[in-house]
A and B are shown apart, each in its own frame.
Chain A
Amino acid sequence: MCETPGNPASQRVLLEIKNLQLDFLQDGRPVRALDGISLSVEAGETLCLVGESGSGKSVTGLSVARLLPSPPAVYAGGEILVEGRDTLRMSQDQLREVRGGVVGYIFQEPAASLNPVYRVGTQIKEALKLHRPQEAVDREVIRLLSLVGIPAPETRARSYPHELSGGMQQRVMIAIALASRPKLLIADEPTTALDVTIQAQILELLLSLKKQFGMAILLITHNLGIVSEIADRAAVMYAGQIVETGPARDVLAHPLHPYTRALLESMPRLGVGSERLKAIRGSVPQLGAFPGGCRFHPRCDDARASCATDPVALLGTGAGRATRCPFSQ
């Protein structure tokens, strides 16, 4: 991508994905889901992967610790370097050290990730036993619960998941992820199932944990507002490719790629009134039916004849930015 080799900051790179190609087997035939994904996350940094359904943002996040079952997923090329070691070449034992140890995950539906028949304290203790066995004690469980802002942690440790609200369940998931002191937290739409007031609480918690522990966050979202609130850098995905990347503020204020620009223009904004929205025509392309040439060309207002045929590369434009459109201003 646009990181220059030999950059002193590159020693602090926690995660580096290089030209990742990933297929899904559909009826025995490989269908490309990720096409040449390259990105990096430095220690203490928040990178937002933004995209709509089917863009490949969740698949990218899951592949970091190889959480996708294979088959149907087939890693067809590239590298995923976690602290310099390629997870695509790791044994199951080595992967287990990365999962939880270096990389922690939280997901959209906390209720689906928690075991309904165990008390939440037990589930946090289980994570401690795996990663910090000598500290797998009630005191540490309660410390983690209060760290993520759960009131009356002594009582709450004895609750079952269904006795907690969605926001509290997500806090428990974060406590479980923190149990192993990960250096990178991958949060896949962590607030999408929550109300806005609870979403604000969880985002605030993530930011404070990041400050406290210098933890890096790879946040996957479809919400550009969240990107603006939380991200240092952003990578916009469309149809299995990164189409634009750069410092979050610049990407949102001066988008380079027509897709990013159209996405920003199509969103209603508070306090702007009721002018007609500028919609993007057509719909998001489905896996296996990504258009040739530039994948956004059938929906792009600025498309030219060559866009339908010529493949386009993600090219740096300076200042840490890159776009997959040769006609970006």
Chain B
Amino acid sequence: MTTTALRSPSRSRAHKRRRLVVRNIVVGWSFLLPNFLGFAVLTLVPVVALFYLSFTDWNIFGHANWIGLANFRRLVHDDSFRIAVENTIYYTAFHVPLTLAVSLGLALLLNRKMRGVAFFRTAAFFPYVTSIVAIAVVWNMMLSPEKGPVNHLLNVIGISHPPGWSTSTTWSMPTIIIVGTWREMGYFMLLFLAGLQTIPPELHDAARVDGASAWQRFRKVTLPYLRPTTFFVTVILTIWSLKVFDLILVMTNGGPGQSTLVLSQYIYKTGFENSEFGYASAVSVALFFICIFITAIQFYVNRRRNR
């Protein structure tokens, strides 16, 4: 189709296109670069270093001696590590479904036209923007076993032996889960609200015309349409739960005993308090793989359902 006469402009057009491609790549990269540089310097390099350190006995000063798998062998026999893993899984297993249910419930409740909806949405979001230290102090005071208002209230309604909350080994983890849920529900409610807005109202109208009950409409219309949001929330929530740290550190510091010791806190303790950075790195690597493993399962399940 091309004639000799047209060849030269076409070649220059191809040349132009190639220049455009290069230009686009350069522009693209230059937009990405600042972020990538920050990621590389602050995350990628340290993470690679972390993997290396987990095979050493580094204690911050002096040389990091290569000790092979010794740190990981020690992990297997470390009871505190086992307790930390169990507590982390305990927290995650209850915190994720509870937060999911509460934030979805709140989102459904606040996804309608009513008076003061903006106020209630803000109120639900408030815990998320409040300082974690303030949250821990106030909740600890409210749940104080002898002088706290919560147990006073429980006494009034006839419960003679209310729980010891954060001061009892059996109740400390449920307490952390409750406070953790209260703190994070607002953020995930916001994500669910955004998801709810994307559901076309016609679908609900059609279902209503067909005589579907509210529960049926929720199961057959709302939930399927929320799937992408639910998946995202579940993944993020699970990773956050596995890495829970600040709330526990300020509220119970892992106590009483080791009843709320979680992995992140164990890493902090072995690394920064006992100066065993090599071993702390090994625990971090273990946490990393637990996170990856659980997230991979979630992606797998999600993909199968999408089929």
Q: Do A and B come from one complex?
A: no
Which of B's residues lie within 8 Å of A, judged by CB? none
Which of A's residues lie within 8 Å of B, judged by CB? none
